[in-house]
Amino acid sequence: MLDNAIKHTPVGGTVTICGRNNNSETVEISVRDTGSGIPEDMRKRIFERFSHKEEPGGRPGTGLGLAISRRIVISHGGDIKVSSQPGKGAELTVRLPAIYDINGKTELVKAGPSS
């Protein structure tokens, strides 16, 4: 997600990473950029293997990164979403359960105060 944001944001643009603990049961990580955005027709297939956006002068990609990311997120009980406006950037958000497993015992992650 971060690599894609950097790859598609022009010099002088902004990439922002944000983490949130929504309700003590889920956590979110968002990567937002001020790049070229993702066309609507591509948003429907952005998480499919070998789906990638080519831009003149852009860094090449294989179209596997977001497909792999999605599989990892789903395997951990989460989901991943994309929102975008062409010409104004994109935001990818991962939501995961805020639990961890230590020695076979599942516990809720205790979050500190939010800022």
Q: Report the distance separating Cα 6 and Cα 33, nearest Å.
A: 8
Q: Give me the domains of the chain, ranges plus CATH numbers.
A: 2-108 (3.30.565.10)
The three-state secondary structure class of 6 is helix
Give the whole-angstrom CA distance, residue 105 versus residue 108.
Answer: 10
- pLDDT tens-digit map of 3-36: 888 888 899 999 999 998 877 788 899 999 999 8
| Residue whose C-alpha is closest to residue 83's, from 94, 92, 71 | 92
Residue 104 DSSP one-character state: T
d(CA 84, CA 64): 19
pLDDT tens for each residue of 41-59: 887 878 777 665 555 555 5
Give the pLDDT of residue 18. Answer: 95
What are the pLDDT digits (tens) for 70-113?
999 999 889 999 999 888 999 999 999 887 666 666 665 554 44
